[in-house]
Amino acid sequence: MNLFIGISALLTLLVVAWVIRPLLVKPKAGGMSSEKLNAAIHRDQLQALKGDLARGVISQQDFETTLDELQLRLLDDTESFEASPKKNVKGFWSGKHTAAAVALSMPILAVGLYLQLGAPQAINPVAAGNRNSEQLTQMVDTLAARLKDNPGDSKGWVMLARSYKALERFQEAAQAFEKAGDIVKTDASLLLDHADVLGVLAGNSLAGKPKQMIEEAIRLDPQNPMALMMDGVAFYQSGDYEKAVKRWEKLLDLLPPDSADAQQVQANINDARAKGGLAASASNVLPPVPAGAAAGMSPEMINQMVDRLAARLKDNPDDLAGWARLARAYKVQNRLDEAIAAYAKTGKLLDTDPDLLTQYADALATRSKSLKGQPEELVRKALAIAPKHPMALMMAGQAAYQNGNFAAAIGHWKNVLSILPVNSPDAELIKAEIDDAQRKMASSGKP
């Protein structure tokens, strides 16, 4: 609002300056008098008359007669007259006074006209938003009325359905999509919009008809990001976590690696893996160097790469995914203090990524040689996000074991065994930990 007023005031001042400038500038003396102008016209006419005589257009007698007339007219036009003396009387409405009056009256008049004819309430964003909403509703209702007389206008029904969806009038949106006919069945984006509306009406469930529409959209457009996202959600809702992960991993390949969308999808994948007891994917780990490259690189070259990443992050401190990569790289290099400092800068990623939480806890526990305190809190937070996260369960068991709570340790480790793949080499090690905890519990007499 202040910006609008400032711009309006500036434009008003410019217009006022343009209007009053001629009133403040003194006119320059000079110019051509009427006598000189008449004489110049006479010379031109005389030259034309001589030209006509030379070409034979007129006779000598006609020439002399016309010449007499021109000379007489010239005498009349240039007859001496006594100019009226200029009166140097100063009245009130001088140039300066007139300019001052215009400068004062124009802004007042402009404000008055605006208040009378303009729309001051439009400056208020809330009022403008309400008015826009009312206008949109009116436009939608007008479109709906027109379609009653043109029920075969498929594109019109699509426009109406999407408008209803934007206004959160989902029941009417679903009806409009139905009336749009076959055009919806051949367009992936329309199928997804229709499925989304039906899902909202079903209590945010994509089971049944919405799922069928999503699958048809994927058939029409296999790389459609929204279709892959919604199909993953449908599988997740039905408890088929493995298929949900596959859909979301395919979507992840289409997204910029460090984007907020990619981070959210990765968090969804981690959650689905944890709930489904699926082994962690190699894609969940962000190594300091590309996979397979470390074998052909010296430690010095790897250090240089890590240091370059650290230098870049100094200029981009908000790159949370970059801090996560740097923290993992430092941890791999056993630079624990630097790793811990980098983990602390990953910000909101710690709220959604159980892998990051467990790695952070492991770095702290390795440095302090204990899971007590902050490491244990981070592990609990990871389990709250993903109750079946294997590494978090292992560390929770170790923390309970260190605290002498052997029964809790055994419970955590048995949960790990239940989600490990059959014949996993880690199973025997975990069983050995469980046996040890059982012996300690029996010898101590603690439950």
Bigger pLDDT: 156 or 82?
A: 156
pLDDT over 90 (residue 37)? no
pLDDT band, very low/low/confident/very high, at 253 (cuts 50, 70, 90): confident
Q: Is residue 289 situated within a structural domain?
A: no
Do 435 and 308 reside in the same domain of the chain?
Answer: yes
- Once rounded to an integer, what is the mean pLDDT over residues 23-43? 57
pLDDT digits (tens, 9 = 90+) for 274-284: 887 775 543 44
Do 312 and 369 reside in the same domain of the chain?
Answer: yes
**How many folded domains does the chain comprise?**
2
CA distance 158 to 137: 16
pLDDT digits (tens, 9 = 90+) for 147-173: 888 888 888 898 888 888 888 889 999
Do 364 and 250 reside in the same domain of the chain?
Answer: no
What is the span of the domain harbouring residue 168?
147-280
pLDDT of amino acid 75:
56
Do 190 and 303 reside in the same domain of the chain?
Answer: no
Give the closest residue to 166 by CA, choosing from 187, 195, 193. Answer: 193
Do 245 and 317 reside in the same domain of the chain?
Answer: no
Decide which of 256, 280, 304 is a domain's last residue. 280
At a CB cut-off of 8 Å and minimum separation 6, what does 181 contact? 154, 157
Do 216 and 252 reside in the same domain of the chain?
Answer: yes
Decide which of 223, 245, 280 is a domain's last residue. 280
Domain with residue 241: its CATH number is: 1.25.40.10
Do 303 and 268 reside in the same domain of the chain?
Answer: no
Do 314 and 431 reside in the same domain of the chain?
Answer: yes
| Greatest CA separation for the chain | 153
Q: Is residue 111 situated within a structural domain?
A: no
Do 324 and 347 reside in the same domain of the chain?
Answer: yes
pLDDT of amino acid 19:
64
